[in-house]
Amino acid sequence: MSLSIRSISVRAGELLCYAAGVVFTGFFAVQLAQGEVERRSTIAVFEQQMQLASAAVEMPAVEGASSPEQAPVTAAGEGPAPASSATPGFSVDEEPDTSLWAPGRIADYQKSLSAKLPPVLGVLEVPAVELKVPVYQTASELVMDRAAGVIDGMAYPHEGGNIGISGHRDGYFRVLKDVKVGDQIVLQTLEGEKRFTIDATTVVDKTDTHLLKDTREQTVTLVTCYPFYFVGHAPQRFIVTASLDTTYVNQN
């Protein structure tokens, strides 16, 4: 009799563990789905702004109409301040593949979903590695937990010079390990689509910033930690440099 009761108890414990696993798996799936909705909504905001900006440029001026206020200047004193993102609309066909992400990075991503982020300035795409991610106006830890950000002091997507974009090596930017020279980078900005061609991938010490210096021509520099699967604080940086393809750029 005691053996039978013990067997029933063990079986009941197994069933409870199984049920708990199902519940936690479902919760995890819901969090990832919420994150994908957030990512799509953020990109939606930006692309709708692009359409509105394009329509405003094409609209002929009406005599007697009040002129728009002068756009504020950024802290760097170059170009208009980044627009605020507030209107959803665009959807992304592919969900982000988190199979390469570290479990801790996925957890940080989930925690970031309830936080308010600064304005989004663009959308970065690297088609060869199926990367598509919003780009925010700063590269804080919170921003990089959610997406990618402009490195402080470097050019914004709507400005000339060296556009520096940073992301976590164990999150969105882990796919950069597979990029090759000649691959294309597409940067959606409020001025239109800009395309860049990857010139080089370089590994440098984390204190080496020579590739982050401003450039006369418009360039894109993607930065993430290296090695990609290093445990702890990575000692190096993996840097992708790309030059503007003037065949497609919306020149001003």
Query: Would you name the residues annotated as active-site residues?
Result: 168, 225
d(CA 127, CA 27): 31
**What is the distance, to the nearest Å, from the Cα of residue 164 to the centroid of all Cα atoms in its chain?**
12
Q: How many C-alpha atoms does 241 have within 13 Å on its Cβ side?
A: 18
Amino acid at 206: K
∠ Cα 128 130 203 (to 5°):
65
Residue whose structure tokens are 């010079």: 161
Is the backbone peptide bond immediately before 119 cis, with ω within 30 degrees of 0? no
d(CA 54, CA 204): 40
Query: Residue 173: how many CB atoms within 10 A of its CB?
Result: 26
Check the CA dihedral 43-219-142-176 and report its sign: positive
Q: How many C-alpha atoms does 146 have within 13 Å on its Cβ side?
A: 29
Selection from 174, 182, 185, 180 nearest residue 219 by Cα: 185
d(CA 161, CA 152): 14
Contact 219, 158 (CB under 8 A): no
d(CA 243, CA 95): 28
